[in-house]
Chain A
Amino acid sequence: MIDVISIYKTFYVPHEVKALVDVSNKIEAGEVVVVIGPSGSGKSTFLRCLNRLETAERGQILVDGVDIFDPKTNINTVRAEMGMVFQSFNLYPHLTVQGNVTLAQKLVRKRPKKEREEKTRMLLEKVGISAKAKAWPSNLSGGQQQRVAIARALAMDPKIMLFDEPTSALDPEMIGEVLEVMKTLAKEGMTMVCVTHEMGFAREVADRVIFMDEGMIVEEGTPEKFYKNPDHDRTKLFLKQIL
């Protein structure tokens, strides 16, 4: 479904950083992939390349066979098929919860009013936040905001969901509610790429765990093998630090 072929990304400002070095990977439809690694190892950059929020300077990414870095590709149609959830929620503060979930349905999917309202209602129910449909994002807890953000991404009926540390800005008691929603999604067969250090989540639903360090994929494997018996010293060291 997503084919990442040897991508490189370097940032030059404020100083030169090799964020991605020769990263290749293949993500199949229905697969749940968890990406872990120390801070600054390029996890976010990798994820953001998948929907071209960053452009790789070398290499190719094919999404359903479409080269997303090709200037002829209409990136907006590709992005509409990929939902993204951010660490800092990024809800639109000038719109209500409902407005947040509805807006892109109207602008991008051009759904009729009735249909998008029905979709919004259904999704808010799914993430357990129907009661707050008319509330402003600033009046919600972090966990509630993140669940709205997930509903907002799902409203486009994406084929792939990208999560960038969705729980790391949350107070501990709210992490569970967000992970529950993510697990439900995974079990429904959604293709997911999640940057997260939540081992419980990875063990329960991930098909594959990728460990990144210094812009490279150091190791990958099934959660079983990865957490119990990693091959590389760097992986072992990192796991020891986060456990």
Chain B
Amino acid sequence: MNPGRQKIYSAGLFCKVRHMEQNVSNIKRLSNPIAYVLSVCGFLVLLFMVIGAVYYATVAVDYHWRWFKVPKYFMYKSTITLYAEGYGEIDTIVDNRDKKDITVTTDAGTRTYTVPKDSFDWIEGDMVSPGDIVASYEGGWKPGILAKGLWVTLKISFLATIFGIILGIIGGVARVSDTPVLKWSAITYVEIIRGSPLLVQIMIFYFVLGTTMNKILLMNGIPKLDPQWYGVMALSIFTGAYVVEIVRAGIEAIHPGQVEAARSSGMTYFQCMFHIILPQALKTILPPLAGQFINLIKDSSLLGLISIRELTKATREGITTSLQTFELWILCAILYLLMTFTLSMCVQYLERRTATK
């Protein structure tokens, strides 16, 4: 098409789109402010009705909500208890700055404990038997099981995102190249990974690859890898395959004139790729990429099956000790929501920043 014509055509299209937007927002906008407020109230009422109905139903089946028990799954104050190791007696109790040193001699040997002042009520010469509490006092704050799980999920998702992007860009550039070894490798990778369930891939990574690799590592005297690493590998490679396709689509959307301009000035293929094409492709790549990484966070919940204690597995373990089933599962979902929502906010911010150019 003659570019002049194309300009007019796209200008026309632009007007049409703007026009349509206006129409849509005209339909959307309620002209009466009272009607608008009422409609917002309607939404809130609906929301509370649903929550209320769920709450009522759980009470009807005698579920006791105990949200107050939940915070300790995030942070708790640990208690440190020291036990006597055998029959014997308290030798000495001496001041050690604001603490005290208790020396206990039993048939298992002599030991000195440094403990806070009020953590015991012995006096020198008291007899102790095995299992007696020598001292008991509060330790520091410790992260609860959900906090640890959340941290593992964040760590694994972050690492898999980084590796997924690297794999995806390398794969995407290979996918659009003319060299068969690159192009066909990329196609094979994408098709194999996209054609099988993630759960199966995780199992293969852990039980097939993991077993083999750990054996090889052991044979060479290297300690075996933590399951977390196999989890990161499985997720990166899975996500990478989808990112390859996203990157490919982004690259193919760039006008071929850009490549010609760059190559005709003597840039190499890779210079053109990294300075001209990829920076421009970023704009089209970003939104689907965000969706992919939101999926990644959610998919990391499968890693519990290979004994990685991420958020979902941590929740399950929390429930077996506390029986706060409802609270913990709801909390678990809210935590995932918070992570995905934060990510999508960040991406929207990035999108706005790239769009201003």
> Which residues of chain A have a CB within 8 Å of any CB of chain B?
51, 53, 76-77, 79-80, 82-84, 86-88, 90-94, 103-104, 107-108, 136, 149, 152-153, 156, 168-169
Interface string of B133-161 (1 = CB under 8 A from A): 00000000000000000000000000000
B257 engages A92 (CB within 8 Å): no
Interface string of B252-277 (1 = CB under 8 A from A): 00010110111111111001000110
Listed by A's residue number, 30 A-B pairs whose Cβ atoms lie within 8 Å are: A53-B260, A76-B267, A77-B266, A79-B263, A79-B266, A82-B264, A83-B264, A84-B264, A84-B265, A86-B260, A87-B3, A88-B257, A90-B260, A92-B276, A93-B280, A93-B357, A94-B357, A104-B265, A104-B266, A107-B271, A107-B275, A108-B265, A108-B267, A136-B357, A149-B261, A152-B265, A156-B265, A156-B266, A168-B3, A169-B7
Query: Contact check: which of B261, B264, B279 meets A94 at CB < 8 Å?
Result: B279
A105 to B160, CA, bound (A): 37
Q: Shortest Cβ distance from B355 into chain A, in angstroms?
A: 12
Size range of the chain B interface in the assembly: 20 to 34
Q: Shortest Cβ distance from B335 into chain A, in angstroms?
A: 37
- Beyond A107-B271, A107-B275, A169-B3, whether A92 also contacts B266 by CB under 8 A is no
B257 engages A86 (CB within 8 Å): yes
Interface residues of B in 306-357 (CB under 8 A from A): 357
- In addition to A80-B266, A94-B279, A168-B4, 8 A-B residue pairs with Cβ atoms within 8 Å of each other are A84-B261, A90-B255, A90-B261, A91-B261, A92-B280, A108-B271, A156-B266, A169-B3
Query: Contact check: which of B3, B261, B266 meets A108 at CB < 8 Å?
Result: B266
Q: Shortest Cβ distance from B357 into chain A, in angstroms?
A: 6
A120 to B177, CA, bound (A): 32
Interface residues of B in 99-144 (CB under 8 A from A): none
A53 to B266, CA, bound (A): 11
A76 engages B266 (CB within 8 Å): yes
Residues of A within 8 A of B275 (CB): 103, 107
B267 engages A104 (CB within 8 Å): yes
Number of A-B contacts (CB under 8 A): 67
A221 to B265, CA, bound (A): 30
Q: Shortest Cβ distance from B305 into chain A, in angstroms?
A: 43
Query: Contact check: which of B257, B268, B276 meets A76 at CB < 8 Å?
Result: B268
Residues of A within 8 A of B7 (CB): 169
Query: Contact check: which of A83, A88, A136 meets B265 at CB < 8 Å?
Result: A83
A92 engages B265 (CB within 8 Å): no
A152 to B4, CA, bound (A): 23
- Beyond A93-B357, A169-B4, whether A53 also contacts B258 by CB under 8 A is no
A104 to B357, CA, bound (A): 21
Interface string of B52-63 (1 = CB under 8 A from A): 000000000000
A86 engages B261 (CB within 8 Å): yes
Residues of B within 8 A of A83 (CB): 264-265
Q: Which residue of A lies closest to B272 (CB)?
A: A107
Q: Shortest Cβ distance from B256 into chain A, in angstroms?
A: 9
Nearest 4 A/B pairs, CB to CB: A80-B266, A90-B261, A90-B257, A84-B264
Q: Which residue of A lies closest to B278 (CB)?
A: A94
Q: Which residue of B lies closest to A152 (CB)?
A: B265
Interface residues of B in 265-306 (CB under 8 A from A): 265-268, 271, 275-276, 279-280
Q: Shortest Cβ distance from A2 into chain B, in angstroms?
A: 15
A51 to B265, CA, bound (A): 10
In this complex, the member of B263, B265, B279 whose beta carbon has the largest number of chain A beta carbons within 10 angstroms is B265
A51 to B3, CA, bound (A): 23
Residues of B within 8 A of A92 (CB): 258, 261-262, 276, 280
Q: Shortest Cβ distance from A132 into chain B, in angstroms?
A: 15
A94 to B280, CA, bound (A): 6
Q: Shortest Cβ distance from A99 into chain B, in angstroms?
A: 10
A107 engages B267 (CB within 8 Å): yes
A228 to B257, CA, bound (A): 36
Q: Shortest Cβ distance from B275 into chain A, in angstroms?
A: 6
Q: Shortest Cβ distance from B350 into chain A, in angstroms?
A: 14
Q: Shortest Cβ distance from B45 into chain A, in angstroms?
A: 47
Residues of B within 8 A of A108 (CB): 265-267, 271
A93 to B284, CA, bound (A): 14
Q: Shortest Cβ distance from A82 into chain B, in angstroms?
A: 7
A53 engages B264 (CB within 8 Å): yes
Q: Shortest Cβ distance from B238 into chain A, in angstroms?
A: 30
Q: Shortest Cβ distance from A64 into chain B, in angstroms?
A: 15
A94 to B277, CA, bound (A): 10
Residues of B within 8 A of A53 (CB): 260, 263-264
Residues of B within 8 A of A107 (CB): 267, 271, 275
Residues of B within 8 A of A156 (CB): 265-266
Q: Which residue of A lies closest to B354 (CB)?
A: A94
Residues of A within 8 A of B261 (CB): 84, 86, 90-92, 149, 152
Q: Shortest Cβ distance from B5 into chain A, in angstroms?
A: 10
Q: Which residue of B lies closest to A162 (CB)?
A: B264
Residues of B within 8 A of A76 (CB): 266-268
A141 to B320, CA, bound (A): 69
In this complex, the member of B260, B266, B275, B357 whose beta carbon has the largest number of chain A beta carbons within 10 angstroms is B266
A87 to B5, CA, bound (A): 13
In this complex, the member of A91, A94, A103, A152 whose beta carbon has the largest number of chain B beta carbons within 10 angstroms is A94
Residues of A within 8 A of B258 (CB): 90, 92
A88 to B10, CA, bound (A): 14
